[in-house]
A = this chain, B = another copy of it.
Amino acid sequence: MGRQATEMLKGTLEGIVLAILSTRAAYGYEITAWLREQGFSDIAEGTIYALLVRIEQRGLVDVAKVPSEKGPPRKVYSLNAQGREYLEEFWKTWAFLTERLEQLRQGGDQA
């Protein structure tokens, strides 16, 4: 989607992944595929894996190694209590941002 999207994803992508994991446990490959389906056409594979490693190191998710029928074992991530708290904060920050931008958009349309 271009340069703007790349920069806007910073910080947001983390929230997106946490939000996905709040509905169900998932592994990297699966998440990447799902995001592509949702229109995040050019999210790099490596980006998701790196992100997953980060949130694991911060203790926001639990990990389970599950054998796959069709490849190497999967690392299945699930959101834990701390992750849920963090996700709450994310939504608050997101709400603040969207409010400000909604105001700006309306103001800009008038001018």
What is A's interface to B at a CB cutoff of 8 Å?
1-2, 4-12, 14-16, 19-20, 22-24, 38-40, 87, 89-91, 93-94, 96-98, 100-101, 104-105, 107-108, 110-111
User: Given known contacts A14-B7, A16-B100, A24-B111, is B93 in contact with A105 (CB within 8 Å)?
Assistant: no
Asked whether A8 lies within 8 Å of B93 as measured between CB atoms, the reply is: yes
Write out the residue numbers on chain B whose beta carbons fall within 8 Å of the beta carbon of A6. Answer: 11
C-alpha gap A104/B105 in the complex (Å): 23
* Closest chain B residue to A24, Cβ basis: B111
User: Given known contacts A39-B100, A104-B16, is B8 in contact with A4 (CB within 8 Å)?
Assistant: no
A to B CB contacts below 8 Å, 11 in the list: A1-B93, A1-B96, A2-B93, A5-B11, A10-B11, A16-B104, A19-B105, A23-B111, A39-B100, A87-B108, A94-B101
